[in-house]
A and B are shown apart, each in its own frame.
Chain A
């Protein structure tokens, strides 16, 4: 389906400026990628509250911890692969353990980074962040939701991870759509199968639901914008209502949304299920659309999976 496109990073930059205007206790750090992550917008407006840490993500997270220890609310940004993997121990020891108000907003997540290839893509970041105690993990569906998520984490206690993409995402929410950290949103009602998506996969779930409707299958679509804490209530309801679930994520299927939903459901009555996502492999260079197709991140794959779980239930 043709949907308007919008960029999450641009919304991050915009939201940061608004936060900077209303909150003197907010500071922003970046690791030499400020023009890509768009923290440069904040840096231009509030130069005294922006600190470029250079290509030194470990030190950036430690510095963020020190600023937070002194009462600041700290946004720390880089590409998702570097903001999580390269400094995971620093996030664990210096940010999550003391439960500091450090908000890691990372861009260029997933494989739609494109041409840079596997070194700059990440299908592991959600896994790395959700395994940390005290960490909240948010994967906004589109640019509008990215804006809301960034605004919401300011006053949400403790460390947060907000995952943003590089490319423009289809717009699936509006300024009026509800967004609460820890609460999933039902985007479309349906009874035969539930499609739970996160990030830009929510748009593909909606497309798939439309396609399934033509085939006589009524699909519910859930936007799981928070991966941790997981909205267990919505998952249980969806499982009871539809009896089968397909999860969809631009992340390694072993360790992201599908893993979180599946392990939770296994302990709560179980449910016929299928995970759509990046297989357990590294990405490669290519146009983002080509990579989406090659790695199975398509509405067609969600449709196939939905048909399969409907048959199996």
Chain B
């Protein structure tokens, strides 16, 4: 949590870096996939899977586990990397991403991949599902929490706002959502394609506890999760300001790398920038 030692933070930062390296290797091996939005969410995923969430990789269906829904399903490479590093399946399996017969589908599939809580990919749906899981927890008096990672392009979907209403209406304070605010979608900047600002104010107006953070600052991510847990009677939306393609210079703020895999040269340059051994 937020009172982590510097050493703990360092380990989380290393995990995020490892996730980023996997993302490059996986999308390169697949020849397709979505590196940009995977890299922007790597720190959030590292924080959740290696600090915040209460879970047991060797017992994926443990009833009291915290749940995670990747609403922006195209960040699957980063998600799988976090799951593999967490111990849900062998790290060696990561490069089978998108290959015929692989457990690692292009977008998450609950029935195929250990640790994947919900099948996603068609955007705008994950928060509704997270709400449903949270309602179930309330009904059963269970204390597990539900985390959901949304993309900013998704904010253009009407269903997101239906879910915003439901979450507030049913006082789902066991829901913590992240908005990976990397500002880019396939056709360009969100504010050019279909502006979503002022996004924090919108969530506030819908009755959510809104926390704005730097989505690449590990202490801020952990601190926001703590504050979300303290908020009673309303769900939390953490607006995480991020950089698409974070930490790989030529992918940073690049629309092109939303849905394009690196070629071999780009892979090597990227891995070098990330300080990978090879």
Chain A residues with a Cβ under 8 A of chain B: 27, 48-49, 51, 53-54, 56, 58-59, 61-72, 89-90, 92-94, 97-99
- B159 near A70: Cβ-Cβ < 8 Å: no
> A59 vs B165: C-alpha distance in the bound complex, in angstroms?
10
Q: How far is the CA of A56 from the CA of B169 in the complex (A)?
A: 13
Q: Which applies to chain A's interface (DSSP): helix, strand, loop or mixed?
A: helix
- Tally of A-B Cβ pairs under 8 angstroms: 112
Q: At the interface, yes or no: B2 with Cβ under 8 Å from chain A?
A: no
* A72, B135: Cα distance in complex, Å: 10
**Judging by beta carbons under 8 Å apart, are B166 and A59 in contact?**
yes
Question: Is B136 in contact with chain A by the CB < 8 A criterion?
Answer: yes
Question: In whole angstroms, how far apart are the Cα atoms of A80 and B159 in the complex?
Answer: 19
**Would A94 and B128 be within 8 Å (CB), given that A58-B159, A70-B133 are in contact?**
yes
With A53-B166, A63-B166, A99-B111 as given contacts, are A94 and B136 in contact (CB-CB < 8 Å)?
no
B190 within 8 A of A: no
Min CB distance A89 to B, Å, is: 6
* B contact residues around A66 at 8 Å (CB): 69, 118, 128-136
Query: Is B271 part of the binding interface, using a Cβ–Cβ cutoff of 8 Å?
Result: no
Q: Are B139 and A49 in contact (CB under 8 A)?
A: yes
Known contacts A27-B135, A59-B163; 11 further A-B pairs (Cβ under 8 A): A51-B135, A53-B162, A56-B159, A59-B166, A62-B125, A63-B132, A66-B130, A66-B132, A66-B135, A69-B133, A89-B122
Q: Which residues of B contact A90 (CB under 8 A)?
A: 122, 125, 128, 159
Which residues on the B side are within 8 Å of A27 (C-beta)? 135-136, 139
Assembly CA distance A59 to B164 (angstroms): 9
Considering residues B117, B119, B125, B132, which has the most beta carbons from chain A within 10 angstroms of its beta carbon?
Answer: B132
Query: B130: which A residues are within 8 A, CB to CB?
Result: 66
A221→B126 CA distance, assembly (Å) = 46
Is there an interface contact between A67 and B162, defined as CB atoms closer than 8 Å? no
Convert B112-149 into 0s and 1s, putting 1 for each residue whose CB lies closer than 8 angstroms to a CB of A.
Answer: 00000111111011111111111111011000000000
> Quick check: A67 and B165 within 8 Å, CB to CB?
no
CA of A128 to CA of B2 in the docked complex: distance in angstroms? Answer: 49
Selected from A64, A67, A70, A97, the residue in CB contact (under 8 A) with B119 is A97
Interface assignment of B158: CB less than 8 Å from any CB of chain A? yes
Contact in complex: A68, B132 (CB < 8 Å): yes
Q: Kindly name the residue among A27, A58, A70, A89 whose own CB sees the greatest number of chain B CB atoms within 10 A.
A: A70
19 CB contacts below 8 A, A to B, read A54-B166, A58-B128, A58-B162, A59-B131, A59-B159, A62-B125, A62-B126, A62-B131, A62-B132, A63-B166, A65-B129, A66-B118, A68-B132, A69-B67, A70-B137, A90-B128, A93-B122, A97-B111, A98-B109
Q: Are A64 and B132 in contact (CB under 8 A)?
A: yes
- How far in angstroms is the closest Cβ of chain B from A134? 10
Q: Does B250 reach chain A (CB closer than 8 Å)? A: no
Q: Which residue of B is nearest A61, CB measured?
A: B128
Question: For residue A58, which residues in chain B have a CB less than 8 angstroms away from its CB?
Answer: 124-125, 128, 158-159, 162
B272 within 8 A of A: no
The residues of A that contact B120 with a CB separation of less than 8 Å are 93-94
A93 and B119 contact, CB distance less than 8 A = yes
Q: How far apart are the CA atoms of A4 and B263 in the complex, in Å? A: 72
Bound form: Cα–Cα A62–B126 in Å = 7
A85 to B23, CA, bound (A): 37
Closest to B136 in A: A70
Closest A residue to B116 by beta carbon equals A98
In the bound complex, CA of A63 to CA of B67 (Å)? 14
Q: Which residues of B contact A51 (CB under 8 A)?
A: 135, 170
State the CA gap A92–B122 with chains docked (Å). 10
Separation of A293 and B119 alpha carbons in the complex (Å): 45
How long is the Cα–Cα vector from A42 to B100 in the complex, in angstroms? 46
Smallest CB gap from A56: residue in B: B162
**B111 touching A98 by the CB < 8 A rule?**
yes
A98 interface neighbour in B119, B140, B159, B165, Cβ under 8 Å: B119
Verify if B227 is at the interface (C-beta below 8 Å from A): no
Report if A94-B118 is in contact (Cβ < 8 Å); known contacts: A56-B166, A59-B159, A66-B128.
yes
Given contacts A89-B122, A98-B118, contact A67 B128 (CB under 8 A): no
Contacts of B132 in A (CB 8 A): 62-70
Chain A residue at minimal CB-CB distance from B157:
A58
CA distance A94 to B132 in the complex (A): 11
Q: Which one of B111, B129, B170 has the highest number of Cβ atoms from chain A below 10 Å of its Cβ?
A: B129
Determine the residue in chain A with the shortest Cβ distance to B148: A66
Question: Once the chains are docked, how many angstroms separate the CA of A241 from the CA of B50?
Answer: 66
In the A-B complex, list the 10 residue pairs whose CB atoms are closest, starting with the nearest: A66-B132, A62-B128, A59-B162, A70-B136, A56-B162, A63-B132, A66-B129, A66-B133, A93-B122, A58-B159
- Shortest Cβ distance from B73 into A: residue: A93
Whether B110 sits at the interface, judged by CB under 8 Å, is yes
Q: Do A71 and B136 have beta carbons less than 8 Å apart?
A: yes
Nearest chain A CB to B149's CB is how many angstroms away?
15
Contact B129 A62 (CB under 8 A): yes
Write the chain B residue with the least CB distance to A31. B162
Chain A residues with Cβ under 8 A from B127's Cβ?
A: 62
Best-surrounded residue of A51, A63, A64 (most CB of chain B within 10 A): A63
Cα of A133 to Cα of B235 in the assembled complex, Å: 34
Bound-state CA distance A64–B131 (Å) is: 9
> What distance in Å separates the Cβ of B250 from its nearest Cβ neighbour in chain A?
33
CA A25 to CA B161, docked complex, whole Å = 28
In angstroms, how far is the closest chain B Cβ from the Cβ of A55?
A: 9
